Structures are given as C-alpha cells and as structure tokens.
Amino acid sequence: MDRKKHWDSVYSQKGETEVSWYEDEPRMSLDLITEVAQSSACRIIDIGGGASVLVDRLVDLGFEKIAVLDISETAMNKAKTRLGSLAARVDWIVADVTETAEIGVFDVWHDRAVFHFLIDATDRRKYVELASRSIPEGGSLIVATFADDGPRRCSDLDVVGYNAESLSSELGPGFTLVKETRATHTTPWGKRQAFFHGVFRRVKI
Ligand SMILES: C[S@@+](CC[C@H](N)C(=O)[O-])C[C@H]1O[C@@H](n2cnc3c(N)ncnc32)[C@H](O)[C@@H]1O
C-alpha cells in the first residue's frame, strides 16, 4: 500500500469537516498540551496533524515554535490555506513518521489518531525511535489512539486500539505514563468512537 497516495486521496476527495476524525474544537488535545507546555517558548510538534485546526489554536496561543508533520501534503495545504499569512509561523514537514531520520527537537510531541494506524511492529519501533531522538529528557509525548474497545478500522485501514498498559509497553522504558484518560469522539455523522489519551514523560534509561 502506498500510504502517501492513500492519505492524499482521502483529503482530495473529502472536505476538512467530512472526515470521521474532524473536530471543530480540539479541546482534549489543547488541554493536555497546555498542561505540559507552560511557556510560549515550548517547542511543539503535531504528528499527523493533517488539516486539523489544532495548529491554528497553537498559533493563537502564542507558541513560538510550532511544527506540523504529515504524510499528506494535500492535508497540510488545507491547513496552510486556512491560516493564510499566519502559516509562515509554522514549520510544515511532509514526511512519513516511520521513515524520517531527523525532525529537530521538541518539548511536546502530540499525535492524535496516527499511531493506531501503525499495524506493523517495525513501523511502531521506528516511530518510537524518532520520538526518542526528538524529545529531550523531561519533554512530553501526548498520544491519542482508538481505545482497545474502539473501532477496528478507520479510513479503510486496519487500526490497533490501546489502553494504558499496551501503549506504555509499545513506547518502552524511555517514556513514563503521567496521565491517562478515555474520551468519546463523535464523528460528523453521529457515530461514537472510544479514544484513549496518554501523556508520557521522556525519561533517561
Ligand atoms: C485520522 S487522521 C488525524 C488527523 C489529525 N491528527 C486530527 O486529529 O484531525 C490521521 C493523519 O495521519 C496522517 N498519517 C497517516 N500515516 C502517517 C504516517 N505514517 N506519517 C505521517 N503522517 C501520517 C494522515 O495523513 C492524516 O492526516
């Protein structure tokens, strides 16, 4: 499967508000990010940010170093167009998170609904290796995935659901769970989906 083609095609065929993961206000993500990012100097990256308005809110909040990484340039172009001149305040990285060598250093790594698409253990390992290289000790990794009793497929792809134990085990000893919460996402057509959110601190091993 060509992942890039898949995601570019999804975002070309559907409007920003027509995808199952659409949120008009990314409340949970913002709450978790602002709990750990206590200064505007915090470097924040949204992994698989797609066309989400999270980046708009982070810009509004005055964070000085914000990056969005996504495999789909089509998705990121939607966010860039929406932001207009403010898009210049963001680093836009078109890349597959499992195939990228370096992205810089970030105090906060946020991922909503990307990790659960990594059904191959090697891809998960590469994701964790990149996160480990990119987040300094004391930094935070915030991951929102489908819960273990959540959907089994999304966007015509298989997914893996998680709970605190299974996600901690995937991330390994370099990340300690500091907060966990479950939430229900309601799709634009009213379907309820169980999500797991974990906040992890990068620790020395
Ligand atoms: C379900 S969407 C979630 C988008 C966004 N985080 C949100 O909450 O609205 C998954 C996103 O991950 C991106 N993606 C999927 N696999 C990826 C990969 N291997 N590397 C980088 N981005 C990926 C897709 O292009 C898509 O934008």
Residue 1 pLDDT greater than 90, yes or no = no
Contact by Cβ (8 Å): 125, 107:
no
Look up tokens 């708009």; give the residue: 56
Homologous superfamily of 3-202: Vaccinia Virus protein VP39 (3.40.50.150)
Q: Ligand 1 — pocket residues by CB below 6 A?
A: 3, 7, 21, 48-50, 52, 70-72, 75, 96-98, 112-114, 117
Q: Is the pTM of this model over 0.85?
A: yes
Smallest CA separation from ligand 1 atom 14, residue: 48
Distance 99 CA to ligand 1 centre (A): 14
Look up tokens 């470097």; give the residue: 43
Separation CA 196–CA 112 (nearest Å): 10
* Domain spans, the chain: 3-202
Contact by Cβ (8 Å): 123, 98:
yes
Report the pLDDT value the prediction gives residue 189, as an integer from 0 to 100.
Answer: 97
Q: What is the pLDDT of residues 25-79, one digit of tens each?
A: 999 999 999 999 989 999 999 999 999 999 999 999 999 999 999 999 999 999 9
* Ligand 1 atom at shortest distance from the alpha carbon of 20: 1
Distance 48 CA to ligand 1 centre (A): 4
Smallest CA separation from ligand 1 atom 4, residue: 50
Distance 116 CA to ligand 1 centre (A): 10
* Ligand 1 atom at shortest distance from the alpha carbon of 98: 19
Look up tokens 């990340």; give the residue: 175
Rounded alpha-carbon distances, angstroms, from residue 203 to 4, 90, 176:
32, 27, 7
